[in-house]
Chain A
C-alpha cells in the first residue's frame, strides 16, 4: 500500500482536466505537463503544478517518456496517470515509471504488452476461450502470406495495424483486387502512427454493433464488470456517440458478455480500469475485438449509469487498495448517452479543423467534459476531440431529450465542429429507435457523407436581426447619451437597414425595418415580425413571428458574425458595405493549405496541366493524410510551398491558372 500524494497527468485536454478533478476531490496534488502549443491550455492552468516538456508535435512532448519521467521527478510526483491515447498503453512507459519508482495508474506491463498487440491479444483470447473473429494474426508479414490468409478468411475483411487503435492504419477491403493497395497504405500509416508496421487481418462483420464491457480489477484478484457501452455510431472508425445500456441488451446477454470480459481481464492478470470491446451482430453473437488497457474516452457514460468515479477507482487500485465494490452490488441506474464534440468539418469528410476558440459556451444541466475555453486554441498537433457532452435520464428517451436540449444550447465558435451533425444524428429515426449499428453514418448519410443543409430564410433573418441588434448596441455605445424612447425612431415613420449576404453567387438581402408598428424583417416577398433582447455578452434572445430563439454569437467584426441557434451553427458576412478584402472573386486557382500540417508531397510540377479532381498534394495533419485536389482545370503556374515542410492553414501551396482563361 502506497498513498499517492502528488499525481502527474501525462496528458492534455479534457481527460487531463477530468483526471485532475478526481485528484482534487481526493486531496491529491496535481501536476500537468505541457508542450509549447499548450502553454495556455486549460489543463495547465487547472493543475497545482506544471512542467513544460517540449515542442508542440507529440513526438517531442507528450510521447517523450524521458521528459515526462523527468517532469514527474521535478514535481515529486509519486504517480502518473496517462489518460487515454499518448502513452496510456505504452509498456515501455509503464516500465520507465516502475524503474523510477513512480506508480503507473494503469494495468501491469504484461497486460499492456499482450493487449497492445492485436495479434498477440487475439492469440491469447482464443486460448482463453473468448469468442474471436476469424482472422490472421501471424508473424509472417509478407504480402504473399497476408494475401493468402485473406483468401481463406473471406471478404469483406479488415486490414489493421497490429499496434493500432482509434481507426488509424485500418482499411476495409471488399475485394481481393484492392488488397495489395490496402496492405501498403495500412502499413505506411501504421508505421507512421505507431512505429510498427505489423498488420493483422480479420473478417469484417458487416453492420454490427460495437458493444464494449467496462471491467475493473484490483491488485488482489477481484474483477468486476460495470455494464456495457454501445459505441456503434462511428465515423472513420472513430466513435462519435456512446451510450449505456446498449439498446438491445438483455440481462442474459450482458451476463455472458460480462463474464467473457472478466475472463479476458483475468487472462492477462489485469489491474485497474479496462475495456473489452466486442462486435455484436444481429443474432446477438459477439466477437472479441480488443481490450483497451486504459480509461476510455467514453467512460463517463458508465460513471453516470453506475454511479462510480472510475478515476478514483483507478487511483485506489494503483495504491493497492482492495476494491470494496462487488459484482453483486453493481447496479445500473437509468440511461446515459455521450456525444463527442470534434473540431472538424462533418460536411467536408470530417476534416479536422483548428485555430482560435472565439467562444466556447457549453450547455448547463448535463455533464460536459471539455478541454477548451473561450480565448484558447485548438492546436493542429493533437486529437480533434474538444469536448464530451453526457446526458443521463431515467430512460433512454429522457436521456436523449436532455442530450438534444443540451446540444441545442452548446456553442463552439472558432474551429469548424460537428455540433450540428451530432444534433442531426441523434434526431434520426433509426437512432431514436436504438437501431444504430456501425453502419449508421454510411446508411444515414450515404457515400458522400453528411452535408450541411443550405441556410434557410429564417437563418438569414436571425443573422440579420442579430447584426442589427449588435450594430445598434455598438452605435449607441459610441454615441453620447440618447433617451431610450428615441431609439429606433425616425421622423419619417420608417427606418430601413439592409443586410446583404453572399450565397452561392447570388446575394440574399434582409431588410430590417423599424416602424411605429415595431420591428420587421423583410426577405424576398416575406415579412416577419421581430423583436430582440440581450441576454448576455454572447447571447441574444430573438423573437421571429412570436417564436423565441436563443442565439449565441461571436462578432468577429461589424460585418462578420458567427451564430449558433438551437438548430444551426453558421457564419455570415454582411456585404452591404462592399465586399470585404480578401474575398477571392476568381476562386479555385489559388491552392491553399486547408489546415496546419506537414506538406508530405507535391505531386505536380510547374507547367504541368491538371484536371479538376486531380490529386496535387498530400498534407498530413493530426496524423491523418489529406489529399489536396485541383478545383479547376488548368496549368500549374507556381509552386509556392515545399514538400516536407510544415505549413500553416491558408498558406499558398500552388497556383493553377484556369484553362478557360488561357483559351479566352
Chain B
C-alpha cells in the first residue's frame, strides 16, 4: 500500500506563519465559544440559591466520564439575533452534542438557562431542528435537559412560532421511528415548551423547580382571570401524581440526571446492535498537529490537499484514484480508524475532467457501500469559453446529480474555499451530508467577495460605456468596497456557522477525530434495527 511522503517541512517560514494564523483563528473560536459559558456562569449564584446545577454542570454529570463528546452548533445564532460580533453570544442558548450516557451514544440537548433564562433564539432554533434530524437519521436517543423561558415575547418573531412546531413534530416522528426521547424537567417549560415533555417518551421531573404548563400563572390570569399557583398549575410533583406527565420524580438536578442515566442504562440500547467491526489500523504517520501549518488561511494560496489527507487517514496510507486525470480534483481510497472511506478533495477549481472523475468515484463508492468524505477547497467549477465548450455545465451537473442521489454516508468539511456550485457538487449544506463541519478559516458563498465586487464593477463599466459615459470612480470604488464587505462578512465560517449552515466549527487538528467519531456514529446507526410504530408512543 502506498504510504504518502510528505513534502512539508514544519520548520519552514511558511509553515510557521500558516500555523500562527490558523491557531489564532482557533483561539478566536474558543474565545467565542467561551463567551456563552461566561455569560451563562453569571447566573451561577441564582442556580446555587435555587439548589440547581448550572446547565453545563448538568451536561457534565449526564455524560459518561472518559468517553468522547462531539459538540454541535457551538456557533449557532452568532451575529444573528445580535449582529454585533463583539457582543453576540454564540450557541443559541443551547448546549448540543453527541456523547455517551450509560454507554449509549446519545444526542444531548441542554437548554442554557443561564442565558436569558434559556429563552428560544431565532438563530438557534435551526440547530435544534438539525440535532433532531441528526438523531433521527443516526438513530440516536435524544436527551433534553429542559429549563427554558420559552419564546421571549418582547423579541416575538412569527417565524419562531411557525417553525417551532417542527421540533414537536420531530419528537413524534422519533417516537414513531422507535428512537427513545427523554426529558429532564429541571425548570420551567411553559407554553410551546410544555410539549417538549409532552411529546417525549420518558419524563423525569425535578421537585420544586421543574415545571410544565401550557400557560404560566400570568398568562392564565390574562386569559381566563383564574388566579393560579405555578406549582399546582404545572409543578413536577403534580405532574407525577395527578396529570401523569412525569414518569419519574427526582429530588434535585443531580438526582434527576442520575435517573436519566439509569433510564438509558435500562434501555440496554446496544444489546441488539452488532456494528461492522473496525479493521486493525495504524495511526497516521504524520501528525494531525501539522495541519495547522500546512493549510494557508488565505484560500488563494495553493497547497496540495494530499498533505491534509495524509494526516487524516490510517497509516497516512491511501490510493490515489486517477491522479493524472482531472488533477485538481483529488479522489483517494483510504481508511479512517479502521473503516474504509472515499475522500474527495480539491486542489483548486473543478474542471470538466475533475467533475467526471469525481462523478465516477462517487458512483464507485456508492456501489461498494463506502462512506464519502469531502474536503472542500474550491472556488467552484471552471468558467470561460474553453470550459463551457468542454461541457462544464453538464459535467458539473452529473456530479451534482450523483451527490444528490447517492445513499452512502457523506461527511463534509469546509477546509478552505467552497464557492458556487462547487459547494453543491462537493456535498455542501443543501446536499444534506450526514455531518458537515467547518474549519475556522473556511470561506463559503456563491462566489468570493472580490470576484463579486469586480463583477459588479465590470457590469457598471460596461453599462457606462454603452451610454458613452465615464464611470464615477469614487462611487464605483464605494460600491466595490460595499460588495466586498457584504460578501466577506457572510463568507466567514463563524458567520455561516452562526446561521447553522454547518454542524459547527472545529479545530482543524481535530478533523481525524471528528471524522472517526462521525464514522462510528454512522456505523452504529446502520447496525441498529429500530422497532417503529405508526404514531409514536402515547403517554398514559
Among A481, A491, A576, point to the contact of B61 (Cβ < 8 A): A576
Q: Which residue of B lies closest to A512 (CB)?
A: B65
Tally of chain B residues near chain A (CB < 8 A): 50
A497 contacts chain B at the CB level, 8 A cutoff: yes
Q: Is A328 in the interface zone, CB < 8 Å from B?
A: no
A1-9, A173-181, A482-490 - the one binding chain B: A482-490
Q: Which of B67, B506, B513 has the most CB of A within 10 A?
A: B67
Q: Which of A474, A487, A490 has the most CB of B within 10 A?
A: A490
Residues of chain B lying within 8 A (CB to CB) of residue A476: 66-67, 103
When each residue 443-479 of chain B gets 1 if its CB lies under 8 Å from chain A and 0 otherwise, what string results?
0000000000000000000000000000000000000
What's the tally of chain A residues with a CB closer than 8 Å to chain B? Answer: 34
Q: Are B270 and A498 in contact (CB under 8 A)?
A: no
In the complex, residue of chain B having the shortest beta-carbon distance to the beta carbon of A486: B68
Q: What residues on B are CB-neighbors of A475 within 8 Å?
A: 64-67, 100, 102-103
| Contact call A481/B275, Cβ cutoff below 8 A | yes
Contacts of A492 in B (CB 8 A): 33, 69, 71, 74
Shortest distance in angstroms between A427's beta carbon and chain B's nearest beta carbon?
35
Known: A472-B67, A482-B68, A483-B520. A489 touches B513 (CB 8 A): yes
Interface residues of A in 455-506 (CB under 8 A from B): 468-469, 471-472, 474-483, 485-493, 495-498
CB < 8 Å: which of A479, A491, A493 contacts B105?
A479
B278 within 8 A of A: yes
Contact B516 A486 (CB under 8 A): yes
Contacts of B63 in A (CB 8 A): 495, 497
Residue of A at shortest CB range from B260?
A: A577
Q: How far is the CA of A493 from the CA of B254 in the complex (A)?
A: 24
One digit per residue, 1 when the CB lies within 8 angstroms of any chain B CB and 0 when it does not, for chain A 560-599 equals 0000000000000001111100000000000000000000
**Which residues of A sit under 8 angstroms from B275, Cβ to Cβ?**
480-481
A483 to B278, alpha carbons, bound, how many Å? 8
- Choose one: A479, A480, A491; the contact of B69 (CB below 8 Å): A491
Q: Which of B65, B70, B250, B254 contacts A471 (CB 8 A)?
A: B65
Contact status B66-A488, CB under 8 Å: yes
Q: At the interface, is chain B mostly helix, strand, loop or mixed?
A: mixed
- CB 8 Å contact bits of B505-517 with A (1 = contact, 0 = none): 0110010111011
Q: Report B-chain residues with C-beta under 8 Å of the C-beta of A479.
A: 64, 67, 100, 103-105, 270
| A514 CB-CB contact with B under 8 Å | yes
List the B side residues contacting A497 at CB < 8 Å: 60-61, 63, 65-66
Q: Could you tell me if A490 and B68 are in contact, using CB atoms closer than 8 angstroms? A: yes
In the complex the two chains form, is B104's CB within 8 Å of A478's CB? yes
- B517 & A486 in contact (Cβ 8 Å cutoff): yes
Contact B258 A577 (CB under 8 A): yes
Considering the complex, which residues of chain B in the window 237-275 have a beta carbon less than 8 Å from any beta carbon of chain A?
250-252, 254-255, 257-258, 261, 265, 270, 273, 275
> Chain B contacts of A478 at CB under 8 A?
102-104, 265, 270
A-facing residues in B268-289 (Cβ within 8 Å):
270, 273, 275, 277-278, 283
B524 interfacial by beta-carbon distance below 8 Å = yes
Complexed CA–CA distance, A578 and B68 (Å): 24
Contact check, B520 vs A495: say whether CB atoms are below 8 A apart: no
Kindly list chain A residues whose C-beta atoms are within 8 Å of the C-beta of B69.
Answer: 489-492, 495
Say yes or no: A488 contacts B68, CB within 8 Å. Answer: yes
For the complex, give the distance between the alpha carbons of A243 and B61 in Å: 52
Name the distance in Å between B221's Cβ and chain A's nearest Cβ.
35
Query: Could you give 12 example pairs across A and B, Cβ below 8 Å?
Result: A468-B65, A474-B103, A478-B102, A478-B104, A480-B105, A481-B275, A486-B513, A486-B520, A490-B70, A491-B71, A575-B254, A577-B261
12 new A-B contacts at CB < 8 Å, known A479-B270, A486-B520, A496-B60 = A472-B65, A479-B100, A482-B67, A483-B338, A486-B337, A487-B67, A491-B69, A492-B69, A495-B63, A498-B61, A576-B254, A577-B61
Q: 7 nearest interchain CB pairs?
A: A478-B103, A472-B66, A578-B255, A577-B258, A475-B64, A497-B65, A483-B337
Seen from chain B, the residues whose Cβ lies within 8 Å of a Cβ on chain A are: 30, 33, 57, 60-61, 63-71, 74, 97, 100, 102-105, 250-252, 254-255, 257-258, 261, 265, 270, 273, 275, 277-278, 283, 337-338, 504, 506-507, 510, 512-514, 516-517, 520, 524, 527
